[in-house]
Amino acid sequence: MKWVKKILFVLVVLFAGYYLITRPEDAADAVRGVFLWVAGAVTAVFRFFTSLAG
């Protein structure tokens, strides 16, 4: 079962590399989207704890 995970990981990395090479603008947009989502989640967590403290 360990080799299946390794093969899937390699396939995901190869797909990401192919996507980055063939569509760099779309790849950059995807990274920006993930970054904005993470930043929004972190902001929401800080806002939650601030409301608990206040």
On whether residue 2 sits in a domain, the answer given is no
Would you place residue 6 in the very low, low, confident or very high pLDDT band (cuts 50, 70, 90)?
very high
On whether residue 34 sits in a domain, the answer given is yes
On whether residue 29 sits in a domain, the answer given is yes
On whether residue 33 sits in a domain, the answer given is yes
The pLDDT value given to residue 48: 94
21-51 per-position pLDDT tens digit: 999 998 889 889 999 999 999 999 999 999 9
- SS3 sequence of 10-52: HHHHHHHHHHHHHCHHHHHHHHHHHHHHHHHHHHHHHHHHHHH
On whether residue 9 sits in a domain, the answer given is no
On whether residue 49 sits in a domain, the answer given is yes
Token reading at 38? 């993470």
- Domain hosting 43: range is 24-54
Total domains in the fold of the chain: 1
On whether residue 1 sits in a domain, the answer given is no
On whether residue 42 sits in a domain, the answer given is yes
